[in-house]
Amino acid sequence: MHFMNPPPIMKLIEIVRGADTSDEVFVKIKALAERFGKTVICSQDYPGFIVNRILMPLINEAFFALYTGVATKEDIDTAMKLGTNHPMGPLELADFIGLDVCLSILKVLHGGLGDSKYSPCPLLVQYVDAGRLGKKRGIGVYTHQKKLAAKPSSSL
């Protein structure tokens, strides 16, 4: 079962069928996912399955557009939100996922499929190497406001 993040919010689960996945196991896993209230799709066991195999080249190309100066990060994200009706732009989404996670997935896709279209953009690599991991770190493509924990009140 490949859950989309964050699992409590996202409605999709990819069930990945390996070479030896029986119909009985598939039916049980599908029923479990549906009990969770999820929509189920099925993928064969290939690198990236369905979602990551399509999504990561989109995110990578957005990084290449930024890297080569095609447009600003804001214009790239606005173009995809308003031009293709995505709820968030690819660079914003990459920050949400984690730039380190995106880089790792691209490396798996590139290694597993051997196609240069999955070769990570140098800017993405630079950001990860610099510790710019996205929202979880407070900086990625964008700078994110970190929520401060409430300080306990003093009883003195």
* pLDDT for the residue 150: 55
Q: What is the 3-state secondary structure (H, E, C) of 8-77?
A: CCCCEEEEEECCCCCHHHHHHHHHHHHHCCCEEEEEECCCCCCHHHHHHHHHHHHHHHHHCCCCCHHHHH
pTM of the complete model beyond 0.75 = yes
Out of 2, 86, 110, 144, the active site residue is 2
Q: What is the edge-to-edge ordering of all strands in the sheet holding 2-3?
A: 2-3, 12-17, 39-44
Distance CA 77, CA 82 (A): 9
pLDDT at 5 exceeding the cut of 50: yes
Handedness of CA 61, 63, 69, 70 (dihedral sign): positive
pLDDT, tens digit (0-9, with 9 covering 90-100), for 67-125? 999 999 999 999 999 999 999 999 999 999 999 999 999 999 999 999 999 999 999 99
Q: Which two tokens stand for residue 64?
A: 């290449």
Handedness of CA 11, 12, 13, 15 (dihedral sign): positive
Residue ranges of domains in the chain: 2-44, 52-129
Residues 6+ apart with CB under 8 A from 42: 14, 15, 16, 17, 26
The third-level CATH classification (topology) of the domain covering 52-129 is N-(1-d-carboxylethyl)-l-norvaline Dehydrogenase; domain 2 (1.10.1040)
Hey, what amino acid is at 67? Answer: Y
Distance CA 46, CA 113 (A): 8
Active site annotation includes 2: yes
Contact 62, 90 (CB under 8 A): yes
